[in-house]
Amino acid sequence: MIVKLLPKNSLRYNLIAVTILLAVAYFWVYPFLWAISGSFKTQAGMFQSGASLIPQALDLSNYSRAWVTAGFNTYFLNTVLYSCASTLIELFKSALCGYVLARYQFPGRNLLYKLIVATLFIPIASIIIPQFLLIENLGLLNTRTGVILALSGAAGALYVLLFEGFFRGLPEEIFDAAKVDGAGFARTFWLVFPLAKPIIATVIIFQFIASWNEFNIPLIYTISQPDLRNLAVGMFSFQGEHSFDWTGFAAGSVISFIPILIVFLVFQGYFVRGLAGAVKG
Amino acid sequence: MSKASPVPSADYAERQQEQESRVVREKSRQGKGRTYLWIALFLLPFLLLYGAFTLWPLLATIYYSFFDWDGIQPLTSFIGVGNYQELLSDPLFWLSFKNTLIFAIANTAIKLPLSLLLAIILTRKWLWGKRLFRTAFFVPIILPVALAGQIFSLLLNPANGAFSAFLQQLHLIQGPIDLLGQDSTALLSVILISVWQVFGQYMIYWMAALQNVPEELYESAQIDGANAWQQLTRITLPIIQPVAVIISLLAVINALHVFGIVVTLTSGGPGQSTYVISYLIYTQAFQNVPFRYGYASAGAVLFAILAFLFVITQAYIGRKVGATDQTAPGHIEKEQKA
């Protein structure tokens, strides 16, 4: 069946397309390759090699320097904690809210929906001051809880809309069946929640990447507690008084983007389907 | 209502009625109060965080914008619309505003068509190595902005950066070139690097939208002898048009909020040639002593209003264009819906 759908000259198409794509993709990922190769170079080699990706002399000490001396072991654990916690909170609150918005009418429902849509327009930079004052007044400045709260507080409008769209599109029969089985409010939600796998994957990818890479929040909220920083902020510990440790920095970059790459590869299949299901409405 | 929502649906009203009647049935079966209690319980986690970290900060920002306030002294010096008057006559505000608009328009105009083109190619059934290419083009977005900025600063460094070395090897330029250090090229470089960074996100959006186009339509079009361009303009674009409006809205909104890439690449320079609004707000509130929270807040409010007007105009144009588009290949649209 699939063979029949292929154009007759698919081999020729592929030779042209794949060649062009490979060339473009090479330049596209070049900064990554450059960082990866830099992480194995010596300090001197980094600057003599120009655009070349092959290290002249191998230097593995960059990784141990990044991991131990620059404190990446601590930053790494912090980042894992921040990302996992804020992703779980986002999933929890946006799934519940999206479900209720999709399935029930209640006073103020339309107002809430419009407010959530309007939130998409607000520039984050513009509300950072009151958010900071709030965390400070709660006594959560320079704590892990403060960082996690700030990471999971502001985002989420898009996630609610994704869940709302998905639950609205579910066939009525599923809910009727749940009712026949005598399932109540919470039990019905628990039954249909696993169906939202594509949306769950989308939220996990978006929020995990966003909080893993977040720079401003961990910087501002841990200003006097450097050991609470995440990898993105920790990167700047390679900035010395007069010099910048570029090869250590490159090794740190590799340490910080490999886990995200794995998350993306694992959830990639669901990701596109999740968005497709949501935009179908 | 349904059109304004990012998740449009033709039969939204119908479903809402369905929902209402279902709720009525439910009410007769079990207590209305109990259902409302569950609804409140389900909404609580979102509302708490939303209220604390979005709604309240928004109102507070508007309130602060009427004060001359450094964030430390008590909030006493009410100056009415003084901050707004100062902003409107501040050349740096208008320069930042102009740069932000240029950034948003150019960034969107480059990233959207290119990512759509790539999404179409990467969803062809006959293509080899789809997963590899998808990952390659998505991957820049997993790089923290701060890191991307550092890496590009070094790559574009005129003294020993890889970019200059590469162009000189090809004999395209004679001496080293400083793209981020010149007024004429700094903003353009920032725009292109930002395209590189966010590209994958839009490619995924388009791929999701393209899943709604049934493969059979292409097959029958091919039998009718339609070429690739006709298939694109007569089948693909009309079907994904409603989603395209949303994707371009998100694209413009995200581009208007540009911040991190400017901080890490140019810090607004050289001079003030790459100042954008978010960066202006940031410098006024957190960098330039004495801090001016009130002034920065006014800038944020004014910008939110201007951005909102800009986006509304875009949505209006998008919908108008969409309405005329749909009349042309009408029969396909109707077949699709039937």
**pLDDT 10s digits, A103-135:** 998 888 999 998 888 877 776 767 777 888 889
Do the chains contact at B145 and A10, CB–CB below 8 Å?
no
Asked if B218 contacts B231 with a C-beta cutoff of 8 angstroms, the reply is yes
Mean pLDDT, rounded, for A223-239: 81
pLDDT tens digit string along A146-203? 999 988 876 678 889 889 988 888 888 888 888 888 888 889 999 999 988 878 888 8
pLDDT of A89 > 90? The answer is yes
List A residues 95-114 in contact with B (Cβ-Cβ < 8 A).
Answer: 96-97, 99-100, 103-106, 110, 112-114
Residue spans of chain B under pLDDT 50: 1-10, 326-338
Residue B212 is nearest to which of A7, A104, A280, comparing CB atoms?
A280
pLDDT band for position A211 (50/70/90)? Answer: confident
B15, HSE (Cβ side, Cα atoms, 13 Å): 19
| Cα gap B146→B170, rounded to integer Å | 30
Q: What is the CATH number assigned to the segment(s) B65-337?
A: 1.10.3720.10
Asked if A274 contacts A260 with a C-beta cutoff of 8 angstroms, the reply is no
Three-class DSSP category at A239: strand
**What is the model's pLDDT at position B73?**
77
Identify the residue whose tokens are 């790089």. Answer: B143
Residue A41 region, left (φ>0) first, then alpha (ψ -120 to 50), else beta?
Answer: beta
Residue A261 is nearest to which of B19, B71, B139, comparing CB atoms?
B139
State the pTM of this model: 0.79
Q: Which residue has the higher pLDDT, A10 or B101?
A: B101
Q: Which residue has the higher pLDDT, A125 or A216?
A: A216
Residue B240 CA from chain centroid, whole number: 18
Three-class DSSP category at B67: strand
Alpha helix stretches (DSSP H) within B30-90: 32-50, 56-64, 82-88
Do the chains contact at B12 and A275, CB–CB below 8 Å?
no
Do the chains contact at B54 and A154, CB–CB below 8 Å?
yes
pLDDT of A248 > 50? The answer is yes
Average pLDDT, chain A: 82
**What is the model's pLDDT at position B21?**
59
pLDDT band for position A24 (50/70/90)? Answer: very high
**What is the model's pLDDT at position A81?**
94
Identify the residue whose tokens are 């918005």. Answer: A101
Q: Is B20 on the interface with A (CB under 8 A)?
A: yes
Asked if A247 contacts A43 with a C-beta cutoff of 8 angstroms, the reply is yes
Do the chains contact at B139 and A134, CB–CB below 8 Å?
no
List B residues 134-173 in contact with A (Cβ-Cβ < 8 A).
Answer: 134-148, 150-152, 154-155, 160, 162-163, 165-166, 169
Mutate to test the interface with B, among A126, A132, A168, A170 (most CBs of B within 10 A): A126
Q: Is B218 on the interface with A (CB under 8 A)?
A: no
List B residues 76-95 in contact with A (Cβ-Cβ < 8 A).
Answer: none
Asked if A276 contacts B209 with a C-beta cutoff of 8 angstroms, the reply is yes
**What is the model's pLDDT at position A50?**
62
pLDDT tens digit string along B246-292? 788 888 888 888 888 888 888 887 888 889 988 888 888 877 777 88
Asked if B114 contacts B191 with a C-beta cutoff of 8 angstroms, the reply is no
| Cα gap B107→B198, rounded to integer Å | 10
pLDDT tens digit string along B153-203? 888 887 777 777 777 777 777 777 778 878 788 899 999 999 999 998 899
CA terminus-to-terminus distance, chain B: 24
For A150, the closest chain B residue by CA position comes to B53
| Cα gap B240→B234, rounded to integer Å | 11
pLDDT band for position A51 (50/70/90)? Answer: low
Domain ranges of chain B: 11-52, 65-337
**What is the model's pLDDT at position B152?**
87
Q: Which amino acid is present at B24?
A: V
Q: What is the CATH number assigned to the segment(s) A69-280?
A: 1.10.3720.10
Mean pLDDT, rounded, for A206-212: 84
For A220, the closest chain B residue by CA position comes to B286
For residue A70, give how far its alpha carbon lies from the nearest alpha carbon of chain B (Å).
Answer: 16
List A residues 210-229 in contact with B (Cβ-Cβ < 8 A).
Answer: 212-216
**What is the model's pLDDT at position A241?**
64
